[in-house]
Amino acid sequence: MAGNNALLFDTDVAFASLSAATGLASTMLLFLVCFFASVPITMLMAYVPGTRTRQLYSFLTGFVLLYTAFGEGVKHIYMPAMLSYAFMALAPTHCGLLTWATVFPYLISVHAQNASGDTWKEGGMDFTGAAMVATLKVISCAVNYQDGTSIKEAQMTPSQKRLHITKLPDPLEYASYLVGCGSLLVGPTFEVRDWLAFCSKQDVWKDKSVTSKARIPGALCFGQSLVWLVLHLYLDTLCPLTTVDKPFYASLNYPSKIAVMVACCFVSRCKYYFSWKLSESALIFCGFGYAGEGKWDRISNCHPISVELCTSGAKFPDHWNIQTSLWLRYYVYERLVKPGTKPGFWQVLMTQLVSAIWHGLYPGYLFFFSSSSLFFEAAKVLFRWEKAYRTRSPAVANAIVALNTVLTVVNLNYSALPFLLVDWAPGIHVWSSVSYIPHMEMLAICILGAVVKPPKAPSAKKSA
**DSSP structure string for 121-168:** HTT---THHHHHHHHHHHHHHHHHHHHHHHS-GGGS-HHHHHH--SSP
Residue whose C-alpha is closest to residue 62's, from 184, 182, 192: 182
Beta bridge partners of 292: 295
Residue whose C-alpha is closest to residue 317's, from 339, 332, 296, 336: 332
55 vs 45: CA distance, rounded Å: 9
359 labelled catalytic: yes
Please say whether the beta carbons of 3 and 11 come within 8 A: yes
Residue whose C-alpha is closest to residue 36's, from 260, 388, 277, 348: 277
**DSSP structure string for 422-434:** -SHHHHHHHHHTT
Distances (CA, A) of 262 to 117, 309, 312, 404: 22, 12, 16, 16
146 vs 127: CA distance, rounded Å: 28
| Cα within 13 Å of Cα(131), Cβ side | 29
SS3 assignment, position 337: coil
CA terminus-to-terminus distance, the chain: 79
Distances (CA, A) of 97 to 89, 103, 144, 150, 354: 14, 10, 11, 12, 15
* Inter-residue long-range contacts of 213-218, CB under 8 Å, 24+ positions, other chains counted: 213/290, 214/46, 214/284, 214/285, 214/286, 214/287, 214/289, 214/290, 214/296, 215/285, 217/284, 217/289, 217/296, 218/43, 218/281, 218/282, 218/284, 218/285, 218/289, 218/296
| Cα within 13 Å of Cα(293), Cβ side | 2
125 vs 275: CA distance, rounded Å: 14
Q: Can you say whether the dihedral through the CA atoms of 295, 296, 298, 304 is positive or negative? A: negative
Which is catalytic among the residues 94, 359, 429, 439?
359
For the beta carbon of residue 47, count every other beta carbon within 10 angstroms.
Answer: 10
- Type of residue found at 207: D
Active site residues: 359
